[in-house]
Structure 1
């Protein structure tokens, strides 16, 4: 099961208005600057592709900050998405990065290692209690002490399942699986009852699945991956059983979010991640499916769902540390996160915000149904994706998983090879 595909599907619908990975950095330093001085001076704030759709929100936010702190001036820089990671690298090397920047955990990691991100545990620890623990930990780096960005917006989502397909297989449609053991047992029963015609899942396991299964993903020092440990082999072996029984869709090896969604839409797959936008599509294009839609939490054997977290980082070499820290906190405080969450389908990372009626009170709409289900899971969710795991490493894992499912390698051999490849890439980074 691949919750990340659900998140990708959700993000795709928002991509033109709110990208779910943005980046930035400081330009060097120890990460222990003093933020206790007077909040004043001119700072720069960088976002990624937000100006076209959210200019009034951010200009209002900046004006409010400047009014609260007379003598401050915030220059907002909004960059296009294309080539942005390369630009960040170039700016980091050239010392030209802004004072405050939106970051994703994977992009802040190398910057923090290079001393380019301010350690908030040293300079802004008084704000830690304002955020969800899992969100605050989202920008911590294995092998390093400290936290290198304020948590900003979060994303996650529940699973959709087809109640009628569960009922046809003799399963209780009101009790979908919530743990991997339940998932495996019910998936095999569903495949058997349908004689291999109905798969439960359309996606192969990703690093998030290994995390939610309880696999140790990296060593504590952050110097090597560990998902090939026995529990990881156990998970992949279970998926191999599903694949052989056709409980995992035969096309899962090459599935995309779109193709997996189509499988669910045509009722060839019983479970799939998605968003409120999908519910509207089901109602229009597949009314029979829509009438039988169930919404459940992510599959997890740890008791904690997966979250995707974005943050706001402070340049470790800013000349205006008090102002930069104050503004980064201002952007991400409870009031402003709630305001932003009501403009686009994201979730605040601040403690207590998810108890707001906006995230708890039903109003009969599909959008609210999904929002409430997702918000509930975020209170204890964590970011399972290792911050040191690059897209290239994820591809290595995916290719190895595919070889194991096809029987070209044993699960143990496949994961050993994936860890070796990822460790080699880690040393090169």
Structure 2
């Protein structure tokens, strides 16, 4: 059974599911006032700020309360009230609050989660309200809260993850693969997967497709244009995309994926890796901790490598952010608190208690991310992911929400089962996606 700590770490990853002071870091360190763009020059901040997070209690209570206490000390006129809600049902609750005009002053959301609300223009434009700190952040992380074809950014990046390649060295050896050289491209991944599956003889497979989580990202990595220049029309039914889907269908036919995997998500892929049922797991470094707790022998056999990429060489990142609704009656203090929570010092501290990455460029220069430390898989993954994320992007447009995902993946599943030709599947997927977002 997964440990409670491992389960909570998974929740942090899903939602994407100790205060120390670091020397020499940049970011918003102006006494906690953050940006002045939302305030009158010299005006003291005051009032109440309600801060709502997704499933961070009780694991991170000490850390969050410590940041709040530090902020309130620097800004004695502000009272920050922290509310934490379970990830399950949070979207429905947030939507209901938006309709009622009762959203918290600062909310913790990922871009896809937030975009349905942003489509209604509900959030403060941080390109304007937090313009003084924008340059502190990794460009790809800041841009994650932009809508293609529209101006402005509706969130401040908070914590990030950047996928690495975890692989079972023992299974690589049995398959005649180089145990020190994991696949680095999608094509290499499929080739390695076929060899691993042959060696597994029906008991272990090469990899898990995790279509819900990976398919559209993998298209983006290969340079497939997901949307047109206006950001209004889906366009991923290209010949190149159809060729890739054809490769996946062929891999499924050859037994590279477990037979029951087509309808399963990333959590099932993680379970399969922990059980020794698949040889490769592209995932966030935070899952190394979960694997170590739940499957120590698999963890011992696990090696790590850079994120698997496509022809474009692009690397993806997952982003969690802090957003300020326009309905907030205390926007100045809310923006100020959000920039303080997400500054370099506080993000670095958070990264040292949970395996995530900071979105502020200066924090990534800390030795915690530039050294391999004890040489463990966790330390290596941390260094690899930090190097990647400096140039990483959130490759999936915010419009690719749960509704679009379901429609697209349904067609892709039919293609893998041989019930639809790859091009037909993508044509139908694009048509369905455009109906949903059109």
TM range (shorter): 0.7 to 0.9
* Equivalent residues of 2:210, 2:266 under 8 A apart: no
Mapping of 1:272-421 within 5 angstroms?
272-274=281-283, 275-281=287-293, 284=296, 287=297, 289-290=298-299, 292-301=301-310, 302-361=312-371, 362-421=373-432
- Unaligned 5+ segments in structure 1 are 1-9, 23-32
Q: Residue 93 of structure 1: CA displacement?
A: 1.8
Aligned residue in 1 for 2:257: 248
* Equivalent residues of 1:213, 1:300 under 8 A apart: yes
CA distance in 2, matches of 1:316, 1:173: 52
Aligned residue in 2 for 1:72: 78
- Unaligned 5+ segments in structure 2 are 18-36
3-state DSSP of counterpart to 2:393 = coil
What's the RMSD between the two structures over aligned residues? Answer: 2.8
Range moving further from structure 2, 184-193 or 142-151: 184-193
Deviations 1:230-254 (A, max 9, x none): 2211210111221222233333213
Distance 1:194 1:53, change over 3 A: closer
Asked if residue 149 in structure 1 is aligned to residue 138 in structure 2, the reply is no
CA distance in 2, matches of 1:108, 1:185: 37
Find the partner of 1:140 among 133, 146, 149: 146
CA distance in 2, matches of 1:255, 1:109: 24
Q: Residue 198 of structure 1: CA displacement?
A: 5.5
Mapping of 1:173-322 within 5 angstroms?
173-190=179-196, 199-205=205-211, 206-257=215-266, 259-265=268-274, 267-274=276-283, 275-281=287-293, 284=296, 287=297, 289-290=298-299, 292-301=301-310, 302-322=312-332
Mapping of 1:72-151 within 5 angstroms?
72-151=78-157
CA distance in 2, matches of 1:91, 1:243: 43
* Equivalent residues of 2:51, 2:82 under 8 A apart: yes
Aligned residue in 2 for 1:50: 56
Aligned residue in 2 for 1:6: none
CA distance in 2, matches of 1:177, 1:265: 19
CA distance in 2, matches of 1:85, 1:412: 33
Deviations 1:406-426 (A, max 9, x none): 110000111111111122121
Q: Residue 276 of structure 1: CA displacement?
A: 1.7
Deviations 1:155-184 (A, max 9, x none): 233122233433444433322221123223
Distance 1:75 1:189, change over 3 A: closer
Aligned residue in 2 for 1:40: 45
Count of residues paired in the alignment = 405
Q: Residue 188 of structure 1: CA displacement?
A: 4.1
TM-score where L is the length of structure 2: 0.83
